[in-house]
């Protein structure tokens, strides 16, 4: 199974511009994904879908995603708002007012979590949402399961974007997934950087944004003394490909741009390919 991911689109950051920079970057990412061979089975859009939670931006998001020829599954981030999102995408399931739902495939079970607390930048995961997750995990303890959410529950080292490990929502999520070894991975966004790590013995893949990215700086930050550091950079839009091989989740990070080509698979590289494949067990 092959899952593509985009995240942190922030459509509508420049709301009155029909040629908005973030829309161009989104279209570039979508084209890259749609041109892939083999094509992904579906696309994950993991929050901060729009920048201001406004209806018009969700309408434009729906228009952009209409170019995708396979299913698109979304979750919400801190820049989203539930009511206008659900008006534009009424087919995305909700429960108890939260955008949480399950997608069950022959290979994997995907559980989409809502970590939005409107008005808060960081994540949230209340008792109601945790109870829904606990009930879903209790239903099928054997099938490999991936959790899809916007906020990663880990410290990234980027001080101004960090999630503190003692935040209540992190503890609540940890308590809920404890004792469920079939949870094989987590796929998130929010940090605008590509990061891979582990959390509570679960692999965690964080995809960078299609919108401009957060600059890499691991120095502590002082809120009282601006130090002139780089904060936001406009590297090419990012996408991720998550490959489930039947045993584990393997994540690849890519940029939506024209790459400098140095070699193709032709008769000059055929001996190398043959040699590499010959080394494998029968």
- What integer pLDDT is reported at residue 18 of this predicted model? 81
| Nearest CA among 233, 212, 117, 210 for reference residue 169 | 117
* pLDDT for 41: 97
Long-range contacts of 249-253 (CB under 8 A, 24+ apart): 249/146, 249/184, 249/185, 249/203, 249/205, 251/187, 251/196, 251/203, 251/205, 253/194, 253/207, 253/208
Instruction: Give the total number of structural domains in the chain.
Output: 1
pLDDT of residue 17: 86
Q: Which domain, by its residues, includes 212?
A: 2-278
At 16 the pLDDT is 82
Q: What is the pLDDT of residue 156?
A: 94
Q: Which candidate, 168, 197, 161, places its Cα nearest to that of 176?
A: 168
CATH number (domain holding residue 109): 3.60.21.10
Residues 6+ apart with CB under 8 A from 210: 6, 7, 8, 9, 22, 25, 26, 28, 29, 237, 238, 239, 256
Kindly report the pTM of this predicted structure.
0.96
**Which residues of the chain fall short of a pLDDT of 50?**
none
User: For residue 51, what pLDDT is reported?
Assistant: 97
């Amino acid at each position: 199974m092959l899952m593509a991911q985009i995240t942190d689109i922030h459509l509508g950051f420049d709301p009155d511009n029909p040629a908005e920079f973030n829309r161009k970057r989104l279209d570039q990412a979508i084209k890259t994904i749609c041109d892939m061979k083999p094509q992904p089975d579906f696309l994950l859009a993991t929050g901060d879908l729009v920048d201001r939670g406004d209806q018009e931006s969700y309408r434009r998001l729906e228009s952009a995603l209409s170019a995708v020829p396979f299913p698109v599954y979304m979750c919400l981030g801190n820049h989203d708002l539930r009511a206008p999102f659900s008006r534009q995408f009424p087919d995305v399931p909700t429960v108890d007012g939260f955008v949480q739902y399950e997608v069950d495939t022959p290979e994997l079970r995907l559980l989409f979590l809502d970590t939005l607390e409107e008005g808060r930048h960081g994540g949230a995961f209340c008792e109601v949402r945790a109870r829904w997750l606990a009930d879903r995990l209790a239903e099928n303890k054997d099938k490999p399961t991936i959790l899809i959410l916007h906020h990663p529950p880990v410290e990234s080292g980027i001080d101004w974007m960090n999630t503190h490990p003692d935040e209540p929502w992190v503890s609540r999520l940890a308590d809920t997934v404890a004792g469920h070894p079939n949870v094989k991975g987590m796929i998130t966004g929010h940090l605008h950087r590509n990061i891979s790590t582990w959390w509570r013995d679960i692999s965690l893949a964080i995809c960078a944004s299609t919108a401009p990215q957060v600059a890499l700086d691991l120095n502590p930050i002082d809120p009282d003394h601006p130090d002139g550091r780089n904060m936001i950079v406009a590297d090419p839009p990012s996408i991720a490909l998550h490959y489930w091989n039947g045993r584990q989740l393997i994540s690849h990070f890519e940029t939506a741009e024209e790459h400098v080509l140095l070699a193709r698979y032709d008769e000059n590289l055929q001996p190398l390919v043959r040699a590499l494949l010959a080394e494998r067990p029968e």
